[in-house]
Structure 1
Amino acid sequence: METQFEITTSTVAETEQIIDLILTIQQQEFNIPITAADQPDLSEIDQFYKVPGGEFWIAKDQDQVIGSIALINIGDGIGVIRKMFVHKHYRGKEKGIAQKLLHTLIDYASTKGINAIYLGTVEKLQAAIRFYERNGFIPIEKANLPASMPLMKLDTHFFVLHLNDGK
Protein backbone atom coordinates (compact mmCIF):
# COMPACT_ATOMS: atom_id res chain seq x y z
CA MET A 1 0.00 0.00 0.00
CA GLU A 2 1.30 3.42 -0.88
CA THR A 3 2.16 5.71 2.01
CA GLN A 4 -0.01 8.78 2.19
CA PHE A 5 2.03 11.63 3.55
CA GLU A 6 2.06 15.39 3.46
CA ILE A 7 4.89 17.88 3.74
CA THR A 8 4.15 20.97 5.82
CA THR A 9 6.08 23.59 7.71
CA SER A 10 6.46 22.68 11.35
CA THR A 11 4.55 24.30 14.18
CA VAL A 12 5.38 24.44 17.88
CA ALA A 13 2.73 21.72 18.41
CA GLU A 14 4.97 19.18 16.64
CA THR A 15 8.16 20.01 18.53
CA GLU A 16 7.98 17.00 20.84
CA GLN A 17 7.36 14.58 17.96
CA ILE A 18 10.22 16.13 15.95
CA ILE A 19 12.65 15.76 18.86
CA ASP A 20 11.49 12.18 19.45
CA LEU A 21 11.91 11.22 15.77
CA ILE A 22 15.39 12.74 15.50
CA LEU A 23 16.75 11.44 18.81
CA THR A 24 15.43 7.93 18.15
CA ILE A 25 17.22 7.81 14.80
CA GLN A 26 20.44 9.39 16.11
CA GLN A 27 20.77 7.46 19.36
CA GLN A 28 19.05 4.11 18.85
CA GLU A 29 19.49 3.47 15.16
CA PHE A 30 22.95 4.90 14.57
CA ASN A 31 24.38 5.03 18.11
CA ILE A 32 25.39 8.65 17.66
CA PRO A 33 26.25 10.08 21.11
CA ILE A 34 24.03 13.17 20.98
CA THR A 35 21.22 14.43 23.19
CA ALA A 36 18.40 16.95 22.92
CA ALA A 37 20.53 19.29 25.04
CA ASP A 38 23.26 19.09 22.36
CA GLN A 39 20.69 20.34 19.84
CA PRO A 40 19.04 23.42 21.35
CA ASP A 41 17.75 24.38 17.90
CA LEU A 42 15.16 21.61 18.22
CA SER A 43 13.35 23.30 21.08
CA GLU A 44 13.61 26.72 19.40
CA ILE A 45 12.79 25.85 15.78
CA ASP A 46 11.09 29.14 14.92
CA GLN A 47 13.88 31.32 16.33
CA PHE A 48 16.70 29.18 14.99
CA TYR A 49 15.41 28.40 11.48
CA LYS A 50 12.43 30.55 10.53
CA VAL A 51 13.26 34.01 11.92
CA PRO A 52 16.59 34.28 9.97
CA GLY A 53 14.78 33.38 6.72
CA GLY A 54 15.06 29.60 6.68
CA GLU A 55 12.37 27.02 7.30
CA PHE A 56 11.69 23.66 8.97
CA TRP A 57 9.52 21.12 7.16
CA ILE A 58 8.03 17.89 8.36
CA ALA A 59 6.53 14.89 6.62
CA LYS A 60 3.41 13.56 8.32
CA ASP A 61 1.45 10.34 7.97
CA GLN A 62 -1.93 11.17 9.52
CA ASP A 63 -0.90 13.05 12.67
CA GLN A 64 2.48 11.35 13.08
CA VAL A 65 5.72 13.14 12.19
CA ILE A 66 7.70 10.70 10.01
CA GLY A 67 10.36 12.97 8.52
CA SER A 68 12.07 16.33 8.80
CA ILE A 69 14.39 18.69 6.98
CA ALA A 70 15.48 22.22 7.84
CA LEU A 71 17.16 25.10 6.06
CA ILE A 72 19.30 27.69 7.78
CA ASN A 73 19.63 30.87 5.75
CA ILE A 74 23.08 32.19 6.69
CA GLY A 75 22.93 35.09 4.21
CA ASP A 76 25.03 35.88 1.14
CA GLY A 77 22.92 33.45 -0.91
CA ILE A 78 23.98 30.50 1.25
CA GLY A 79 21.73 27.91 2.87
CA VAL A 80 22.58 25.00 5.15
CA ILE A 81 20.58 21.78 5.42
CA ARG A 82 19.99 20.46 8.90
CA LYS A 83 17.86 17.80 10.53
CA MET A 84 17.20 15.62 7.47
CA PHE A 85 15.64 12.51 8.99
CA VAL A 86 13.05 9.96 7.86
CA HIS A 87 11.59 7.29 10.15
CA LYS A 88 13.07 3.90 9.24
CA HIS A 89 9.68 2.43 8.25
CA TYR A 90 9.18 5.25 5.74
CA ARG A 91 12.56 5.25 3.99
CA GLY A 92 13.29 4.14 0.47
CA LYS A 93 13.16 5.49 -3.04
CA GLU A 94 9.75 3.93 -3.66
CA LYS A 95 8.19 5.92 -0.80
CA GLY A 96 9.84 9.14 -1.98
CA ILE A 97 9.59 10.96 1.35
CA ALA A 98 13.24 12.03 1.60
CA GLN A 99 13.16 13.11 -2.05
CA LYS A 100 10.02 15.20 -1.52
CA LEU A 101 11.50 16.80 1.61
CA LEU A 102 14.68 17.71 -0.25
CA HIS A 103 12.78 19.08 -3.27
CA THR A 104 10.62 21.19 -0.97
CA LEU A 105 13.74 22.70 0.60
CA ILE A 106 15.47 23.31 -2.76
CA ASP A 107 12.35 24.95 -4.23
CA TYR A 108 12.05 27.21 -1.21
CA ALA A 109 15.76 28.06 -1.24
CA SER A 110 15.64 29.07 -4.90
CA THR A 111 12.76 31.49 -4.20
CA LYS A 112 14.80 33.05 -1.37
CA GLY A 113 17.83 33.88 -3.51
CA ILE A 114 19.91 31.03 -2.13
CA ASN A 115 22.29 29.71 -4.77
CA ALA A 116 24.42 27.30 -2.75
CA ILE A 117 23.21 24.75 -0.20
CA TYR A 118 25.72 23.14 2.15
CA LEU A 119 25.40 20.26 4.57
CA GLY A 120 27.45 18.18 6.94
CA THR A 121 26.88 14.57 7.91
CA VAL A 122 28.69 11.68 9.56
CA GLU A 123 30.45 8.81 7.84
CA LYS A 124 28.20 6.10 9.26
CA LEU A 125 25.19 7.59 7.45
CA GLN A 126 26.25 6.03 4.15
CA ALA A 127 22.71 5.84 2.73
CA ALA A 128 22.30 9.56 3.38
CA ILE A 129 25.62 10.32 1.69
CA ARG A 130 24.57 8.30 -1.38
CA PHE A 131 21.20 10.09 -1.40
CA TYR A 132 22.84 13.53 -1.40
CA GLU A 133 25.29 12.51 -4.13
CA ARG A 134 22.43 11.17 -6.29
CA ASN A 135 20.79 14.56 -5.87
CA GLY A 136 23.77 16.48 -7.23
CA PHE A 137 25.58 17.38 -4.02
CA ILE A 138 29.35 17.38 -4.39
CA PRO A 139 31.81 16.58 -1.58
CA ILE A 140 33.70 19.59 -0.27
CA GLU A 141 36.60 19.85 2.15
CA LYS A 142 35.77 21.24 5.58
CA ALA A 143 38.41 23.94 5.01
CA ASN A 144 36.46 25.18 1.95
CA LEU A 145 33.14 25.66 3.73
CA PRO A 146 31.80 29.21 4.12
CA ALA A 147 33.21 30.79 7.29
CA SER A 148 29.68 31.63 8.43
CA MET A 149 28.46 28.03 8.22
CA PRO A 150 27.47 26.73 11.65
CA LEU A 151 29.15 23.36 12.15
CA MET A 152 27.95 20.36 14.14
CA LYS A 153 30.85 18.91 16.09
CA LEU A 154 30.10 15.33 14.99
CA ASP A 155 30.01 16.07 11.24
CA THR A 156 32.87 14.62 9.20
CA HIS A 157 31.60 14.77 5.59
CA PHE A 158 30.52 17.96 3.86
CA PHE A 159 28.66 18.61 0.60
CA VAL A 160 27.49 21.52 -1.51
CA LEU A 161 24.77 21.87 -4.14
CA HIS A 162 24.93 24.87 -6.45
CA LEU A 163 21.51 26.02 -7.58
CA ASN A 164 21.25 27.42 -11.07
CA ASP A 165 19.41 30.67 -11.54
CA GLY A 166 15.97 30.00 -12.97
CA LYS A 167 15.97 26.38 -11.77
Structure 2
Amino acid sequence: TYVTPPLTEPVRISGAPVVNLVASTSGTDSDWVVKLIDVFPDEVPSQPEMGGYQLGIAMDIFRGRYRESFETPKPIAPNTPLPYKFTLPTANHVFLPGHRIMVQVQSSWFPLYDRNPQTFVPNIFLAKPQDYVKATQRVYHAQGSASFIALPVVSMR
Protein backbone atom coordinates (compact mmCIF):
# COMPACT_ATOMS: atom_id res chain seq x y z
CA THR A 1 0.00 0.00 0.00
CA TYR A 2 1.27 3.44 -0.95
CA VAL A 3 -0.39 6.65 0.27
CA THR A 4 0.28 10.32 -0.47
CA PRO A 5 0.28 12.96 2.24
CA PRO A 6 -2.99 14.91 2.45
CA LEU A 7 -3.48 16.90 -0.75
CA THR A 8 -3.25 20.70 -0.57
CA GLU A 9 -5.01 21.24 -3.91
CA PRO A 10 -7.61 19.28 -5.87
CA VAL A 11 -6.30 16.66 -8.33
CA ARG A 12 -8.60 15.82 -11.23
CA ILE A 13 -8.14 12.69 -13.31
CA SER A 14 -9.97 11.85 -16.52
CA GLY A 15 -9.01 8.79 -18.50
CA ALA A 16 -7.40 5.42 -17.92
CA PRO A 17 -4.65 5.23 -15.27
CA VAL A 18 -1.70 3.19 -16.55
CA VAL A 19 -0.08 0.71 -14.16
CA ASN A 20 3.68 0.27 -14.54
CA LEU A 21 4.43 -2.49 -12.08
CA VAL A 22 7.82 -4.08 -11.52
CA ALA A 23 7.26 -7.22 -9.46
CA SER A 24 8.40 -10.76 -8.80
CA THR A 25 6.88 -13.94 -7.45
CA SER A 26 8.42 -17.08 -6.03
CA GLY A 27 5.86 -19.04 -8.07
CA THR A 28 5.56 -19.52 -11.82
CA ASP A 29 2.27 -17.62 -12.15
CA SER A 30 0.65 -14.80 -10.23
CA ASP A 31 -2.19 -12.33 -10.35
CA TRP A 32 -1.59 -8.63 -9.78
CA VAL A 33 -4.49 -6.58 -8.43
CA VAL A 34 -4.02 -2.81 -8.43
CA LYS A 35 -6.46 -0.43 -6.76
CA LEU A 36 -6.54 3.37 -6.99
CA ILE A 37 -8.33 4.72 -3.91
CA ASP A 38 -9.49 8.13 -2.61
CA VAL A 39 -8.89 8.23 1.15
CA PHE A 40 -11.10 10.73 2.96
CA PRO A 41 -9.67 12.78 5.85
CA ASP A 42 -9.79 11.04 9.24
CA GLU A 43 -12.37 13.56 10.39
CA VAL A 44 -15.21 14.87 8.23
CA PRO A 45 -17.24 17.13 10.56
CA SER A 46 -20.29 17.30 8.27
CA GLN A 47 -20.32 13.49 7.83
CA PRO A 48 -18.52 11.78 10.74
CA GLU A 49 -19.24 8.34 9.29
CA MET A 50 -17.05 9.21 6.27
CA GLY A 51 -13.89 9.80 8.33
CA GLY A 52 -11.07 7.70 6.85
CA TYR A 53 -13.40 6.21 4.23
CA GLN A 54 -11.60 4.56 1.30
CA LEU A 55 -13.43 5.09 -2.00
CA GLY A 56 -12.35 2.83 -4.84
CA ILE A 57 -11.80 4.88 -8.01
CA ALA A 58 -10.27 2.37 -10.46
CA MET A 59 -9.29 -1.26 -9.89
CA ASP A 60 -8.32 -4.22 -12.02
CA ILE A 61 -6.58 -7.58 -12.02
CA PHE A 62 -3.84 -8.72 -14.38
CA ARG A 63 -2.82 -12.35 -14.71
CA GLY A 64 0.98 -12.52 -14.92
CA ARG A 65 1.02 -15.35 -17.47
CA TYR A 66 -0.25 -12.84 -20.06
CA ARG A 67 2.48 -10.22 -19.53
CA GLU A 68 3.88 -10.73 -23.06
CA SER A 69 0.81 -11.89 -24.96
CA PHE A 70 -2.84 -12.67 -24.34
CA GLU A 71 -2.67 -15.36 -27.04
CA THR A 72 0.35 -17.22 -25.66
CA PRO A 73 0.52 -17.45 -21.86
CA LYS A 74 3.98 -18.14 -20.42
CA PRO A 75 5.26 -19.14 -16.99
CA ILE A 76 6.90 -16.46 -14.88
CA ALA A 77 10.58 -16.89 -14.05
CA PRO A 78 10.57 -17.25 -10.24
CA ASN A 79 12.13 -14.49 -8.13
CA THR A 80 12.84 -12.34 -11.18
CA PRO A 81 11.67 -8.71 -11.26
CA LEU A 82 9.56 -8.30 -14.39
CA PRO A 83 7.60 -5.36 -15.82
CA TYR A 84 3.82 -5.54 -16.02
CA LYS A 85 2.04 -2.73 -17.84
CA PHE A 86 -1.75 -2.51 -18.00
CA THR A 87 -4.51 0.06 -17.76
CA LEU A 88 -7.11 0.45 -15.07
CA PRO A 89 -10.69 1.26 -16.07
CA THR A 90 -11.38 4.83 -17.16
CA ALA A 91 -12.00 7.14 -14.23
CA ASN A 92 -13.30 10.68 -13.95
CA HIS A 93 -12.70 11.84 -10.40
CA VAL A 94 -11.50 14.77 -8.32
CA PHE A 95 -9.36 14.05 -5.26
CA LEU A 96 -10.19 16.95 -2.93
CA PRO A 97 -7.82 18.90 -0.68
CA GLY A 98 -7.30 17.02 2.59
CA HIS A 99 -7.85 13.67 0.87
CA ARG A 100 -5.02 11.24 0.11
CA ILE A 101 -4.37 9.12 -2.97
CA MET A 102 -3.78 5.46 -2.13
CA VAL A 103 -2.53 2.63 -4.34
CA GLN A 104 -2.91 -0.95 -3.16
CA VAL A 105 -1.21 -3.90 -4.86
CA GLN A 106 -2.18 -7.44 -3.96
CA SER A 107 -2.00 -10.88 -5.55
CA SER A 108 -5.54 -12.12 -5.02
CA TRP A 109 -9.04 -10.76 -5.38
CA PHE A 110 -10.78 -13.96 -4.34
CA PRO A 111 -13.76 -14.47 -4.28
CA LEU A 112 -14.34 -11.76 -6.93
CA TYR A 113 -11.93 -13.61 -9.22
CA ASP A 114 -10.86 -17.24 -9.24
CA ARG A 115 -7.79 -18.19 -7.23
CA ASN A 116 -4.46 -18.40 -9.01
CA PRO A 117 -2.58 -21.58 -8.03
CA GLN A 118 0.76 -19.66 -8.19
CA THR A 119 1.94 -22.52 -10.41
CA PHE A 120 1.79 -22.19 -14.19
CA VAL A 121 -0.69 -24.73 -15.53
CA PRO A 122 -2.12 -24.75 -19.08
CA ASN A 123 -5.64 -24.05 -17.80
CA ILE A 124 -6.18 -22.55 -14.34
CA PHE A 125 -9.74 -23.87 -14.29
CA LEU A 126 -8.33 -27.41 -14.44
CA ALA A 127 -5.69 -26.89 -11.74
CA LYS A 128 -5.34 -29.79 -9.31
CA PRO A 129 -5.05 -29.35 -5.53
CA GLN A 130 -1.28 -30.00 -5.65
CA ASP A 131 -0.88 -27.10 -8.14
CA TYR A 132 -1.90 -24.62 -5.43
CA VAL A 133 1.23 -23.48 -3.59
CA LYS A 134 2.19 -20.64 -1.30
CA ALA A 135 4.16 -17.91 -3.09
CA THR A 136 5.81 -14.66 -2.10
CA GLN A 137 5.21 -11.59 -4.25
CA ARG A 138 7.41 -8.50 -4.22
CA VAL A 139 6.76 -5.03 -5.63
CA TYR A 140 9.87 -3.07 -6.58
CA HIS A 141 10.29 0.66 -6.08
CA ALA A 142 14.05 1.24 -6.36
CA GLN A 143 15.53 3.72 -8.79
CA GLY A 144 15.69 2.17 -12.24
CA SER A 145 12.99 -0.39 -11.48
CA ALA A 146 10.32 1.70 -9.83
CA SER A 147 6.66 0.73 -9.93
CA PHE A 148 4.22 3.57 -10.52
CA ILE A 149 0.80 4.51 -11.85
CA ALA A 150 0.63 7.20 -14.52
CA LEU A 151 -2.49 9.17 -13.65
CA PRO A 152 -4.38 11.01 -16.41
CA VAL A 153 -4.32 14.35 -14.55
CA VAL A 154 -6.22 17.19 -16.21
CA SER A 155 -6.45 20.88 -15.41
CA MET A 156 -9.16 22.06 -13.02
CA ARG A 157 -9.76 25.14 -15.20
Q: Which of the five TM-score ranges fits, normalised by the shorter chain?
A: under 0.3
Question: Taking CA–CA contacts closer than 8 Å with sequence separation of 6 or more, which of the two structures ends up with the larger relative contact order?
Answer: 2
Bigger helix fraction: 1
Instruction: State TM-score, norm by structure 1.
Output: 0.25
Bigger strand fraction: 2
Which has the greater radius of gyration? 2
